[in-house]
């Protein structure tokens, strides 16, 4: 029901400790204030079905003994292909009326990562990020160079119009007509953030994280947010946790929020829940930043922490329980 979007909430929770060989996956579809009641009610079943397909895609790989990295990628591809989220098809528009996409992925086993920023023709930016990680010695490629690399790597290339949806275009035109542009989504009272992300734990005890986004509506000057920045919007380390973030990227970048959560655990002895709560409800909120994170530790404990009024998320925990939530319902 739409009412779940309206409940104020800041939630974190821990799952049961994973037995050896158990798996888990958590996904998010953005944190912010609710999307319009009418739009949500018209698409609620599609939201639920897409989030469930995303979870199933990742969990199937994990159950078969596959890598957490592959599970994260598979889950994100499903959301990138859906027009419901601000990632891949359905991305928001820049001030110039274009779509510029960012993504990153990281392997907690060996601390390697790949990312792309400002790409315009790569159908699935998360695949480009994975290719950067595995086919180059770089971490981040941006703009025309990243698009060229994706073509040479054999990834699926689309015309820029592929990413356009009428819903996003209408919102862009409304913002342009009001001459608000990025101000609509950049402030503390930001609208819904549709960035997507996933974190996973595989049977070998390896963690991985990934994030993909279209950025902020009305962004200027080739702006890049936190999603492709390792340590800000994405981080994974088997010695601590896997994190994917969503929200106002500038604040996540300044405080290296994803890495901060890992560091609080690794060097400060905090639990995943304590670390995420301190970073999101403490550091980020004190700075005036809005957003949230999903996280997993190597024991299979799950965290969803946000300081906005809603966050789209879902998970399959180590006991196989499946949940999809749009608002702020607490507990399990």
Domain 7-325 is in which class?
Answer: alpha beta
238-261 pLDDT per residue, tens: 999 999 999 999 999 999 999 999
291 contacts: CB under 8 Å, gap ≥ 6 = 31, 32, 193, 245, 246, 247, 248, 251, 252, 280, 284, 306, 307, 308
CA distance 88 to 81: 6
94-134 pLDDT per residue, tens: 999 999 999 999 999 999 999 999 999 999 999 999 999 99
Q: Is the pLDDT of residue 18 over 90?
A: no
- DSSP string computed for 53-78: HHHHHHHHHHHTT--HHHHHHHHHHH
Instruction: Please indicate whether residue 3 or residue 313 has the higher confidence score (pLDDT).
Output: 313
Confidence of residue 43 (pLDDT cuts 50, 70, 90): confident
Residue 16's pLDDT is 33
Domain ranges of the chain: 7-325
Mean pLDDT taken over the chain: 88
Q: What predicted TM-score, i.e. pTM, was given to this entire model? A: 0.90
Q: Is the pLDDT of residue 44 over 70?
A: yes
Q: β-pairing, 112-119 with 101-107?
A: antiparallel
Long-range contacts of 321-325 (CB under 8 A, 24+ apart): 322/52, 322/55, 324/48, 324/51, 324/52, 324/55, 325/4
154-204 pLDDT per residue, tens: 999 999 999 999 989 988 898 887 765 444 444 433 455 689 999 999 999
Q: Is the pLDDT of residue 297 over 50?
A: yes
Read off the pLDDT of each residue in 10-20 and give the average, rounded to a whole number: 40
Q: Which residues are catalytic?
A: 195
Tokens 């492709």 sit on residue: 228
**68-80 and 125-135 helices, crossing angle to 10°:** 150
**By percentage, how much of the chain surpasses pLDDT 70?**
85
209-241 pLDDT per residue, tens: 999 999 999 999 999 999 999 999 999 999 999
């Amino acid at each position: 029901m739409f009412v779940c979007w309206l409940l104020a909430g800041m939630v974190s929770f821990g799952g049961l400790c994973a037995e050896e060989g158990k798996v888990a996956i958590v996904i998010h579809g953005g944190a912010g204030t609710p999307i319009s009641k009418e739009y949500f009610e018209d698409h609620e079943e599609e939201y639920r079905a897409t989030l469930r397909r995303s979870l199933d895609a990742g969990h199937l790989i994990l159950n078969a003994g596959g890598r957490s990295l592959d599970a994260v990628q598979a889950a994100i591809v499903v959301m990138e292909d859906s027009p419901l989220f601000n990632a891949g098809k359905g991305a928001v528009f820049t001030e110039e009326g274009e779509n510029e996409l960012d993504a990153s992925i990281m392997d907690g086993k060996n601390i390697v990562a790949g990312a792309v920023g400002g790409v315009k023709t790569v159908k699935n930016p998360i695949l480009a990020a994975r290719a950067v990680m595995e086919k180059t010695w770089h971490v981040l490629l941006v703009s025309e160079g990243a698009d060229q690399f994706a073509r040479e790597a054999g990834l699926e290339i689309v015309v820029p119009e592929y990413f356009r949806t009428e819903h996003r275009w209408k919102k862009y035109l409304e913002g342009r007509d009001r001459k608000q542009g990025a101000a609509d989504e950049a402030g503390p009272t930001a609208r819904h953030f549709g960035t997507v992300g996933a974190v996973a734990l595989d049977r070998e005890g390896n963690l991985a994280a990934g994030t993909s986004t279209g950025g902020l509506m009305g962004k200027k000057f080739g702006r890049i947010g936190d999603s492709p920045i390792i340590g800000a919007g994405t981080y994974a380390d088997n010695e601590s946790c896997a994190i994917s973030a969503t929200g106002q990227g500038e604040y996540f970048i300044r405080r290296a929020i994803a890495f901060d959560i890992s560091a609080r655990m690794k060097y400060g002895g905090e639990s995943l829940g304590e670390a995420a709560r301190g970073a999101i409800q403490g550091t980020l909120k004190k700075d005036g930043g809005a957003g949230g994170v999903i996280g997993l530790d190597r024991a299979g404990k799950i965290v969803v922490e946000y300081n906005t009024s809603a966050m789209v998320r879902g998970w399959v925990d180590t006991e196989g329980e499946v949940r999809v939530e749009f608002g702020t319902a607490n507990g399990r």
